[in-house]
Structure 1
Amino acid sequence: MPARYDAIVIGSGPGGASVAQSLARHGQRVLVLEQGSGAPLRGTLAQMAGIGAIPGKGAFLHRDASLLVRGLATGGSSTLNFATAAAPPLERFAALGIDLAPSLAECRAELPIGQLPDELLGPMARRIMQAALSSGLPWQKLDKMIRPAVCRTGCWRCVYGCPFGAKWTARDLLDDARLHGAHILDNAQAMRVVREQGRATGVEYLRDGAAHTVQAKVVILAGGGIGSPRLLHASGLAPRSLPFISDPVVAVMGALDDIEGGAEVPMAAGMALPEEGLSFADLTLPRPMYQAFALQVGRIDRLFAHRRTLSIMVKIRDQAGGGIGPHWVDKTLQTEDRERLRRGTAMARRILSQAGARHLFQSWHFAAHPGGALAVGGGGPASVDSELRTATPGLYICDASVLPVPWGLPPTLTLLALGKRLGHRLQELM
């Protein structure tokens, strides 16, 4: 490893991986530091728990018992997400001086994005879609980042980490960046941004119990909606606590007598109601996760009904609040957020009733899209400008923490486009 690079990218999720690939393709010397492991994905509960369920690292419990999850692994949360390719709100970004259309077009041309073929739409997703459509709702297939030729009917490993290569992850971009000369270090925890005369000049990181310092022309924080704000604070570049958004979710469930399922691609179809700040999708999860939902709300009677239970995800566009601090993450729902969840869960219950489901119940709310703490154009003490620059020269941010709030969409495709755009802009400056 050289002592100096053209760019250091901290974090290897969609935003960081996209920047790294773009720069490496243009011949820049790139180092990617990833706190998590780069071990191959095996699609097991144990590995998934290690990536996204370790308290204080991948999972955070709030005061109102809401669970917030993030992925710590090479590829970031893309290793565990549902591979939904929601289009970014181009008009919203354009109003902030960011034209994402060209980068988005590049992403669509390069990545496996499209609706699932009918044969990969599971029986539970079909039943929910039929019920929603018969109720006059605009339910439709969602764009997924899945390779249909490789995806297996009746598989349930999307959320565990697909071991077959059917589900796209940011690891694909990292592999390409590596082929173009980038260095990818896993189990490398960035401790602080190094500055000289007010400019970001490198990163101090910890690996194998030893501290290292490496220098670069530019530093890109892509540690995620929690990781990047924390690293800014550790570097003396942000307030002690920053409010954020989290896209809270509730799973609403109900059982049928005439269906046998439980193993299919989740979020195959759904609908968005942007004017109400609500979105919905089918949410068939592996049995242990379903049973955890049943247990948390005391529905022991439903523990063994997994294969007969339909589940609908209700997601809301929440208000920024709470705080990300150096050793804590805390956020409670505001009154408007709770009202949105109430309306959304009532609508989901009506869809399930239309499908013939009985024994309806719902989980506590949880979340997996922390972001917005460093929002572009936010005007806060640690926000970024339209070029994703911080107030510190040479320091950029490209992850969910820069998303304008409120959000309410799966952010993967948006972050990929932002990363590609930033990579092109940095190439012009180098």
Structure 2
Amino acid sequence: MKKVIIVGSGAGGAAVAKKLQGKFHVTVLESGSYFKPFSFNLSAFEKLKKTGLFFDEREIQLLFPSMKIRKTEERMVMVNGIGLGGTTTLSAGNALRIDKGFKELGINLDDEFEELYREIPITYDHQNKWRDATRKLFEICRQMDLNPKPIPKFGDYKGCTNCGRCVLGCQFGVKWDSRQFLKAAQDLGAEIVTGCKVSKVALEKGLVSGVHTQKGFYAADIVILAAGGFSTPVILRNSGIKCENKLFVDPVLCVAAESKGSFMNKELSMPFAVQKEHYILSPYFDFLSFFFNKNWRHPAADILTLMVKLGDSSNGCTDNNRIRKTLTEVDKERLQDGVDICREIFSRYGIKKENTFLGTINAGHPGGMLPLTIKESETFHNSRLPENLYIADATLFPQSLGNPPILTIMAVAGRVGKIIMERFI
């Protein structure tokens, strides 16, 4: 049985591991450790915030090692999960199918999405959990003809406690994440190695023979990189494989205002969304802005907030631990357009526009440094790659989704797994 090494245990890595184990002997290498939700008392930290000790978002890693934070030269905060389950454990649990860019390349992922719908619990049934402020925002958006729609969620939200900590790791098992796919692969014999960071792939006579890690060398017949849009390109470049100088990150900017007793900090993350051409709007309490942005000085329970998530240009790149990412003038104009709509929504809520304040721009949906083209629409394999090296994450995305990407990443990984089975069995 051929050996397959999968680098990364997030959405793409877990999906392809589940698909391939049994047909191949699969080993998943994860650079982080086992994931634990953020367990500290947020009320205590809110009191501690007043001391001024919180001044840099990177401090959160001391308390929550599963959240890796880096900054660009423009001070944009980049966030990704590091641990078993990757960023899926820190996501808002959104199960949106966003594959327009793939359809434009002639790629049909219907079968892969249908398979995911059968295997993962996905629900819209969480509106009964919404707080009054969320319901009011939804109605205002509807009256403004913004066509708001509840976002489908991974999991079963009957047991949701409205703790508001979705993006800090669900403590109650309500939100599905990729660890469940990893367990399914393990049950079939897959091996999972944590604390195993891959530096590069080994090349022999034009083929990959394995990967180099700080734990030593792992031999493989096939290697699949699914380390995420920040890390997969670094591994490729360390291996002498050129990537494009492109990077999108789906920047998030929150517009907030004081609203006594709105309890957005106790709301499930992103309960509904307004889809615009280049961005989405959604209720979202930004913990990073609350703890580290001095403008967020009101008590958490009294801050009402809407996010603008932008489908940005691919103007950037990543190299080792350095991320270069700038927003173009067009990006900034579109972001400002979203901010203006949020302020109008707040105005109709009863909040003066001049009383709103902004959060810190942060991002966590990187991709696009080796994007698929029409040429690779059937093979999902760039000609720069050895024939036994594949990618199964958002590095392949032709453009930013401007939307939560997990379901689409897993569909792409499912297609990659199917292609590998057809080629190598």
TM-score, normalized by length of structure 2?
Answer: 0.89
RMSD across aligned positions (CA): 2.1
What's the offset of the Cα at 1:260? 4.7
TM-score, normalized by length of structure 1?
Answer: 0.88
Counterparts of 1:202 and 1:408, CA distance in 2:
34
8 Å contact from structure 1 (residues 290, 306) kept in 2? no
SS at match of 2:229: helix
Counterparts of 1:185 and 1:5, CA distance in 2:
18
- Aligned residue number for residue 24 of structure 2: 28
What's the offset of the Cα at 1:261? 5.0
- Aligned residue number for residue 369 of structure 2: 373
Which runs of structure 2 are paired with 1:131-280 in the superposition (5 Å)? 131-152=140-161, 154-207=162-215, 212-238=216-242, 242-257=245-260, 259-260=262-263, 262-274=265-277, 277-280=278-281
8 Å contact from structure 2 (residues 264, 284) kept in 1? no
8 Å contact from structure 2 (residues 279, 402) kept in 1? yes
What's the offset of the Cα at 1:293? 5.4
Q: Name the CA shift for 1:176/1:303 in 2 (closer, same or farther; >3 Å).
A: same
- Aligned residue number for residue 55 of structure 1: none
Q: Name the CA shift for 1:306/1:260 in 2 (closer, same or farther; >3 Å).
A: same
Provide, for residues 359-412 of structure 1, a one-character-per-residue CA deviation record: whole Å limited to 9, x for no partner: 211113211111111111188xxxx66433233110000111111114312110
8 Å contact from structure 1 (residues 156, 285) kept in 2? no
Q: Is 1:102 aligned to residue 105 of structure 2?
A: no
Counterparts of 1:335 and 1:250, CA distance in 2:
16
What's the offset of the Cα at 1:5? 5.0
Provide, for residues 302-323 of structure 1, a one-character-per-residue CA deviation record: whole Å limited to 9, x for no partner: 5233212211010111111122
Which amino acid letter does the alignment assign opposite residue 98 of structure 1?
I
Aligned length: 401
Counterparts of 1:378 and 1:367, CA distance in 2:
28
What's the offset of the Cα at 1:51? 1.6
Q: Name the CA shift for 1:64/1:304 in 2 (closer, same or farther; >3 Å).
A: same
- Aligned residue number for residue 128 of structure 2: 119
From 381, 385, 390, the equivalent of 1:389 is 381
Overall identity of the aligned pairs, in %? 29
| Structure 1: runs of 5 or more not aligned | 53-57
Provide, for residues 67-88 of structure 1, a one-character-per-residue CA deviation record: whole Å limited to 9, x for no partner: 1111111111111011111212
Which amino acid letter does the alignment assign opposite residue 136 of structure 1?
D
Counterparts of 1:306 and 1:40, CA distance in 2:
23
Q: Name the CA shift for 1:261/1:75 in 2 (closer, same or farther; >3 Å).
A: closer
Counterparts of 2:312 and 2:35, CA distance in 1:
34
| Structure 2: runs of 5 or more not aligned | 43-59
8 Å contact from structure 1 (residues 256, 356) kept in 2? no
Could you tell which deviates more after superposition, 242-251 or 356-365? 356-365
8 Å contact from structure 1 (residues 11, 32) kept in 2? yes
From 386, 408, 415, the equivalent of 1:421 is 415
SS at match of 2:255: strand
Which amino acid letter does the alignment assign opposite residue 188 of structure 1?
C
- Aligned residue number for residue 87 of structure 1: 97
